[in-house]
Structure 1
Amino acid sequence: MDSIISINGLSKIFGHRRALNNINLEIGKGEFVAIFGPNGAGKTTLLKVMSTIIEPTRGTVLINSIESKKDPSKIRGMIGAISHETYLYDELTARENLVFFSRMYGIGKNEIDERVEDILKSVDLFQRADDRTASFSRGMKQRLSIARAMLHHPSILLMDEPYTGLDQHAAENFERVLMNTGNSGMTRIMITHNIERAFELCDRMLIMDRGEIRFDRSKKDIGTVENLKEKYLSIMAKDTDAEGLSNL
């Protein structure tokens, strides 16, 4: 499998704290990767480095063979991002939000209307296109945030705790939309504490702790979600905080 993300010797230091410690990682085109770990393990920092929001202290990050430090703006155009924050404007309608972000992404004027209509249909929000986002449920906002992240047809989708605040029904809708993105060969990377849901969705599992990747296996090699949970617990041992274990 061709790599779309290649990370070598990556470290990130904030003051006296080492958030990432000599990470080496290859992620192939089209892979769906889950990243687990306790709070403070470096998961979010790793995604922020991938998306060029922050620069590494040492090491190199190649996205589609482009070094992140040399052309960060081009890399940002390849990436869509979803987190527990939707980054939507409540006073705007769903359509107005997507038109605004289409312009931010530099999508041509002649393409915007069709692109927005298609993406609203794909996330089952076309019937609510002209309703203000403030009236949406948490699950609907999360689906709209997926639409926002995919407007520019990114090669990579980065997700940081996307399940936050979603009930069972909303989570299932979110997953249905998310799985449809795989049809385009998009590479997806998701940080989550929800091991069971991630195990169903993803084809590769990483466990981070103290700024390092301690475990990296395919779902096929792991076998069962119970095996993954046991491995997580063995890595964390007594150092894992209560919150890091609560959703196992």
Structure 2
Amino acid sequence: MDAAIEVRGLTKQFGGRRAVDDVSFALPRGAFLSVFGPNGAGKTTLLRMLATLTRPSAGDIRIGGVDAKEEPDAVRASVGLISHSAMLYPDLTAEENLLFYARLYGVPDPERRVLELLDAVGLRHRRLDRVRTFSRGMTQRVSIARALVNDPAVVLLDEPYSGLDPHAVEIFDELIGSVRAERTFVMVSHDLEKGRALADHVMVMARGRVVRFARADELDAEEFRALYRSTVGTGVA
């Protein structure tokens, strides 16, 4: 398997609590993994470690064959993250925000790339408006453009549909469809139907551990719902 993401024995401890506890998996290039589980299961902590925003207490991460511990900058250059935080500067315009990130990543012809992305998320007409004047849905659309500005090989999504209006959901789905064949996705979601519809791999977590990691076609809908219900019943980690 040509793995895009390899995780071995990954653990994150906060005080006496293990938010992520000995997690291991490998995801092939071009795959879409949806991660499910109750609140406190360790899903977002896992995503933050994959993005190199949080250092593991133990274990190893390799993104595209690159060791995240040894070469974190190289990993960050190949990863895009959409999280609960937009990671945008509210007093800058949409265009200025995206140009800042494009130049930070050394994107060739950043002006052209930014306009392409603003077109893709349907916000070119608002490019000169400050982000603080945007609705939650519009801000999230700029955040999606920010996450794609460096043309990442791996895209990490933490509840990406949160706060999106129906039009923005449609735009986001089209964006995923247009770039899916070229990238690997890991999405944390509470939306079982949406998450399963997008995924070709699924992971269920509880209390920081992996309850099940499988190809989506190995779990039929009824079996998956039963597994998820029993997992949520274990409570918060």
Q: TM-score, normalised by structure 2?
A: 0.92
- Residue number among 195, 199, 207 corresponding to 1:198 in the alignment: 195
Alignment-derived partner of residue 240 in structure 1: 235
Number of matched residues?
237
Specify the alignment match of 2:28 in structure 1: 28
Cα deviation for residue 128 of structure 1 reads: 2.1
Which secondary structure state, in structure 1, belongs to the residue aligned with residue 147 of structure 2?
A: helix
**Deviation >4 Å, runs of 4+:** none
Question: Does residue 16 of structure 1 match 2:16?
Answer: yes
Q: C-alpha distance in 2, partners of 1:55/1:20?
A: 12
Shift of 1:138: 2.0
Is 1:223 matched with 2:188?
A: no
Where does 1:40-79 land on structure 2 (aligned, <5 Å)? 40-79=40-79
- 1:162 deviation in Å? 1.6
Whole-Å separation in 2 of the counterparts to 1:53 and 1:90: 21
- Residues 167 and 227 from structure 1, CA distance in 2 versus in 1: closer, same or farther, beyond 3 angstroms? farther
Residue pairs, 1:175-194, within 5 angstroms: 175-183=173-181, 185-194=182-191
The answer to whether the 8 A contact 1:208-1:214 is kept is yes
Structure 1: gaps of 5 or more residues: 242-248
| Contact preservation (8 Å) 1:84, 1:160 | yes
Post-superposition shift, 1:52? 1.4
Q: TM-score, normalised by structure 1?
A: 0.89
Identity over the aligned pairs, expressed in percent? 39
Give 1:194's aligned amino acid: D
Q: Residue type matched to 2:133 in 1?
A: S
Partner-residue secondary structure (3-state), 2:19:
strand
Counterpart of 1:81?
81
Q: Which amino acid aligns with 2:231?
A: I
Q: Secondary structure at the match of 1:60?
A: strand
Output the aligned Cα RMSD.
Answer: 1.8
CA contact (8 A) 1:33 1:188 kept: yes
Partner deviation per Cα, 1:160-185 (whole Å, 9 max, x = no partner): 122222234433332222222214x1
For residues 91-122 of structure 1, give each alpha carbon's deviation from its aligned partner in whole angstroms, at most 9, with x where no partner exists: 222111111111222224xx111111111122
Q: Match for residue 163 of structure 1?
A: 161
Q: 1:232, CA displacement in angstroms?
A: 0.4
Amino acid in the other structure paired with 1:228: F
Q: Which residue of the partner structure matches residue 94 of structure 1? A: 94
Residue 150 of structure 1: CA displacement? 0.7
Partner in structure 2 of residue 37 of structure 1: 37
CA displacement at 1:133 relative to structure 2 = 2.1
Between stretches 48-57 and 20-29, larger displacement belongs to: 48-57
Secondary structure in structure 1 of the residue aligned to 2:55? coil
Q: What code does the residue aligned with 1:193 have? A: H
Counterpart residue type for residue 121 of structure 1? D
Instruction: Give per-residue Cα distances to partners, 1:141-174, cap 9 Å, x unaligned.
Output: 2121111111111111111122222234433332
